[in-house]
Amino acid sequence: MITLAFATRKKLYKVEGLKTSALTPKLIEMGLYPGQEVMCMFVAPFGDPMAVNVGGYLLSLRKEEADLVLLQEESVNKIKEEK
């Protein structure tokens, strides 16, 4: 299973769960609860931090923070490009 830190850009995922850490409550409160749809939008220069669309808003988080978020893959064809 991959974590959010290794998510492919512009690909839709669902959050599977969170690794236990001091940050778990904060991550959940920011909307990264199991079942939430997430998509990595862009990454800062030097590869870290990253900006993730979390259920409709843009959240920036560090790689080590994103690494706490476990992902389940969503079928890619569900993504509809909005024009």
Partner 1 sequence: MRLKIALVGNPNTGKSSLFNALTGLKQHVGNFPGVTVDKKSGVLKLASKEVELIDLPGTYSIYPRSKDEEVVYDILNNPQHPDYPDKICVIVDTSNLERNLLLFTQVYDLGLPTILVLNMSDVAHRKGIRFNEEAFLKEYPEVTIIATNARIGMGLDRLKTAIFNPSIPPKRSHKELLPKEETKQQVTDTEKRYSTIKEVLQKVVVQEKNNKVTPRTSWIDRLVVHPFFGYGIFLVVLFVLFQLIFSLASYPMDWIDGFFGSIATYFTELLPKGLLTDLFVQGILPGIGGVVIFLPQICLLFFFISLLEETGYMARVVFIMDRLMRPFGLNGKSVVPLISSAACAIPGIMSSRTITNWKERLITIMVAPLISCSARIPVFTLLIALVIPSKKVLSIFNLQGITFFGLYALGLVSALIFSLLLKRIISTNEPSVLLLELPVYKLPRWKNVGINVVEKARVFLVGAGKIIIAISIVLWALGTFGPENRRKDAFSKITPPQNNALAKSNYEKEVRAVNYENSYIGILGKSIEPIITPLGYDWKIGISLLTSFAAREVFVGSMATIYSVEDDGSTQQTLMQKLKSEKRKDGHPVYSLATGLSLMVFYVYAMQCMATFAVVKRETNSWKWPFIQLFALGGIAYLTSWVTYLLFS
Please identify which residue in the block is written with the tokens 């512009």: 10
**38 lies in the binding site for partner 1 (CB under 8 A):** yes
Interface residue with partner 1, options 2, 3, 16, 28 (CB under 8 A) = 28
Interface residue with partner 1, options 5, 39, 69, 71 (CB under 8 A) = 39
Residue 35: helix, strand or coil by DSSP? coil
Interface residue with partner 1, options 27, 67, 69, 73 (CB under 8 A) = 27
Nearer to partner 1, 6 or 76 (CB): 76
Tokens of 21: 């850490």
Q: What is the DSSP string of 47-72?
A: G-SEEEEETTEEEEE-HHHHTTEEEE
**15 lies in the binding site for partner 1 (CB under 8 A):** no
